[in-house]
Amino acid sequence: MSKRTPFDSPESLDQVDVIAEYLNASLEEMDPQVFLSALRDVAFAKGIAQLARDAGLEREKLLLTLSPGAEPSADLVMEIARVVSIKLRSHKS
């Protein structure tokens, strides 16, 4: 069973502040796959085809990038974050 963030309702991912909170909460898990799963939820909530276009990617590449087990580059993750207009907090111990 995969870990999930405290927000398990992608349907509510329609506002920038909710998206930012969702992704930042996923970062607190300190597990890249939890964050990747949350980013995938956001991508589908925003519309995968439009997000791919806005990020300058092919839809299939974005889907592969966000698939379970993928290891996307930091640059690609930051580009997706930019496209969905969110700012990520750094986690400080």
Average pLDDT over residues 48-77: 90
Whole-number pLDDT of residue 22: 87
Average pLDDT value over all residues in the chain: 80
Tell me, what's the pLDDT at 19?
A: 85
* Per-residue pLDDT band at 12 (split at 50, 70, 90): confident
What the block records as the tokens of 64 is: 């592969």
List C-alpha distances in Å: 67 to 15, 17, 27, 90, 92: 23, 24, 17, 23, 27
pLDDT at 93: 47
The answer, as to whether pTM is greater than 0.85, is no
pLDDT for the residue numbered 59: 93
